[in-house]
Every structure is written in structure tokens, then in C-alpha cells.
Structure 1
């Protein structure tokens, strides 16, 4: 187990929590179109 002093000396970081990878994958899985979310389901508006 690393000590706090070891962590401060190395300052190793992992991926940033705000990295967009998960969001881009979610959008790509839905064709980047998802309509409206009504009553717990995705609904495509008429004429769209």
C-alpha cells in the first residue's frame, strides 16, 4: 500500500472524470439521435 507521502511524490493520476469518452460512446450507440425522453422511454417526435 502506498503512503500519503509516496502519492504526493509521484502525483500519479488516472483518467479525468470529466473525460468525454463515455458520453461519446453513449451517443454513438444511439446514432447520436435520441428524441425525447417521456415516461421513462425515448420517443421520436412526429415529423422528425
Structure 2
């Protein structure tokens, strides 16, 4: 994260994807979601 509020980050782990978000801009993940058996998402997959 670059310490700006509202950032998302993805990380591939095998066949899975972890989506993490920094909602308050402190540079740390405030939440993480494990998406099983998928290793790619695009911006069109999100509605925030």
C-alpha cells in the first residue's frame, strides 16, 4: 500500500487470490478476502 485510503491489493497464492484493502490510509490491510480457485480479477470485478 502507498498509505492512501481506499487502496486494494491482490496476491496470488497457488490457485487462490487474496484481496486486501487499506480503508483508512495507514498503509496496513484493514481487511482481506481469500478467493478460492481463481488467480486473476480485473477492475470490472469490483464495485466499491
Whichever structure has more helix as a proportion of its residues is 1
Tell which has more relative contact order, 1 or 2 (C-alpha 8 A, sep 6+).
2
TM-score for both structures, normalised by structure 2: 0.23
Whichever structure has more strand as a proportion of its residues is 2
The structure whose Rg is larger is 1
